[in-house]
Amino acid sequence: MSASRRSLVPLACLVGLCILSGCSGRPSLLPNSDPSLNKTSAQFAADAAKRYPFNTALPPGGVAKGRAQVGYGMDTVQVLNLSDEDWDNVELWINRAFVVFVPKFPAHGQRVKTLNFQMFYDDKGHYFPTDNSTPDRMIQQLEMVRGGKVYTIPVKLAD
């Protein structure tokens, strides 16, 4: 077997496994480590539609004690809660246009949550673009709505 064919075997096995395990319609090939985020794309889109529009009347909560890292190569946002309290029932908004609901971010940086761009939806059922070739298709701001306030989460690019 040629080297190029051998390199295709693992990919074919992964695709076959995905098809057999029923991951079609999911935002990522592999399941999320947080079971509450293992939803179909349709479920993420329907949930986002219920949260529209972004509530601009909410008071600001300041800068959240946490951080986010954006990986455009993998189309992910990793969020870490560095505060002393859990963040419960959080809406994460990208550019006030794309939203995902996350039930819990544990306190003290216990666990990084990895969120695929395809988990963030707008009111028209479109997920956040994975073709980030222009500034309008990039994350300009990441905000958290929690407890009736809006918090800014500092964002850095992944290495």
Rounded to two decimals, the pTM is 0.82
User: What spatial distance separates the first Cα and last Cα of the chain, rounded to whole Å?
Assistant: 36
State the maximum Cα–Cα separation within the chain, in Å, rounded to a whole number.
Answer: 63
In a shared domain, residues 68 and 50? yes
Range of the domain at 123: 32-157
In a shared domain, residues 112 and 59? yes
In a shared domain, residues 137 and 60? yes
Per residue in 44-79, pLDDT (tens digit) is 999 999 999 999 999 999 999 999 999 999 999 999
Q: What's the one-letter identity of residue 153? A: I
The string of DSSP codes covering 100-133 is EEEEEE-STT--PEEEEGGG-B-TTSPBPPS---
In a shared domain, residues 42 and 82? yes
| Alpha helices by DSSP H, the chain | 3-21, 41-51
Q: Can you tell me the distance from the alpha carbon of 138 to that of 144, in angstroms, rounded to the nearest whole number?
A: 17
In a shared domain, residues 14 and 86? no
* Cβ atoms of residues 98 and 120 within 8 Å: yes
Q: How many domains does the chain have?
A: 2
User: pLDDT tens track of the chain, all 159 residues?
Assistant: 554 444 444 434 433 334 333 344 756 666 778 888 999 999 999 999 999 999 999 999 999 999 999 999 999 999 999 999 999 999 999 999 999 999 999 999 988 999 999 999 999 999 999 998 888 899 999 999 999 999 999 999 987
In a shared domain, residues 58 and 127? yes
Q: Which tokens belong to 30?
A: 């592999």
